[in-house]
């Protein structure tokens, strides 16, 4: 199968999988709210596992300049902090039990999501340029971390009076903007390929930032004492799942 076709298939799959939590929210809101912390916990494990066990080892194999790779890794963490700060001016995190929820602007929120998903598409395509197996893992990791975010986005739009049909339609379109990012990265592959190890390190830095700065605080705020074991178990499950899939795929 042509490389571009593989990239597009898994970009679409990643976008569709990320919608599962939001779609479930349309039917069983209480159930999703109850277990959202578990989705986040699994996503943390998956993102960290892909970053440390797959992206970084692949990057290190591609160059002797390991110090440069870790500098790029650090740059990925810092730069995504800056970019996220800019995006959050238009796309704040939303929680139904905070006043931020009342000041949300769904249209601007979706614009912020579109930018975020475009970056995800670039990450997926870049990983596929390294290897098919790494591309698959990256697509699944992207879906894992987008799933809890989609639950939040669905919740905000429903709160602001959007119909269920409109919420689903808009989120489907926004979630698939990763295709544009994937195509852009593929078209620029002649430029990307020579610096591929550094792009992989940059992607690893972004994944590490999302897991540690965005998702872990969500767990800390929502975790109750009787859920601690569940949270730890699901984080480990996320790590083990990626590790097992990596070995199965031969990454």
Q: Please give the model's pTM, rounded to 2 decimal places.
A: 0.74
Show the domain range for 140.
3-26+35-249
User: How far is the CA of 102 from the CAs of 191, 217, 224, in angstroms?
Assistant: 44, 22, 26
pLDDT at 19 (0 to 100):
82
- From first CA to last CA, the distance across the chain in angstroms is 19
Q: Single out the residue of 186, 114, 123, 126 nearest to residue 153, CA to CA.
A: 114
Does the pLDDT value for residue 150 go beyond 60?
yes
Render pLDDT for 54-85 as a digit per residue (tens, 0 to 9): 889 989 998 989 999 999 999 989 988 887 77
Number of domains in the chain: 1
Q: Assess contact for 167 and 41: CB atoms under 8 A.
A: no
Which pLDDT tens digit goes with each residue over 102-147? 434 577 667 767 877 898 899 999 999 999 999 999 999 888 877 7
């Amino acid at each position: 199968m042509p490389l571009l076709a593989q990239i597009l298939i898994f970009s679409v799959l990643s976008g569709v999988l990320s919608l599962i939590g939001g779609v479930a929210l349309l039917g069983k809101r209480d159930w999703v709210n109850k277990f959202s912390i578990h989705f986040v916990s699994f996503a943390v494990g998956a993102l960290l596992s892909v970053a440390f066990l797959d992206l970084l080892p692949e990057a290190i194999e591609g160059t002797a300049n390991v110090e440069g790779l870790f500098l790029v890794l650090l740059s990925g963490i810092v730069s995504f902090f800056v970019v996220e700060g800019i995006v959050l001016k238009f796309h704040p995190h939303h929680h139904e039990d905070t006043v931020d929820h009342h000041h949300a602007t769904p249209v601007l929120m979706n614009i912020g999501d579109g930018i975020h998903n475009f970056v995800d598409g670039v990450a997926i395509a870049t990983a596929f340029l390294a290897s098919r197996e790494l591309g698959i893992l990256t697509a699944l990791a992207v879906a894992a971390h987008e799933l809890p975010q989609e639950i939040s986005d669905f919740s905000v739009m429903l709160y602001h009076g959007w119909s269920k049909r409109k919420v689903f339609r808009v989120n489907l379109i926004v979630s698939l903007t990763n295709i544009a990012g994937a195509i852009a990265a593929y078209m620029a592959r002649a430029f990307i390929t020579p610096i591929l190890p550094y792009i992989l390190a940059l992607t690893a830095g972004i994944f590490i930032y999302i897991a540690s700065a965005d998702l872990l605080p969500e767990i800390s705020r929502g975790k109750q004492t009787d859920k601690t074991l569940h949270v730890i178990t699901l984080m480990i499950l996320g790590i083990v799942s990626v590790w097992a899939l990596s070995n199965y795929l031969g990454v």
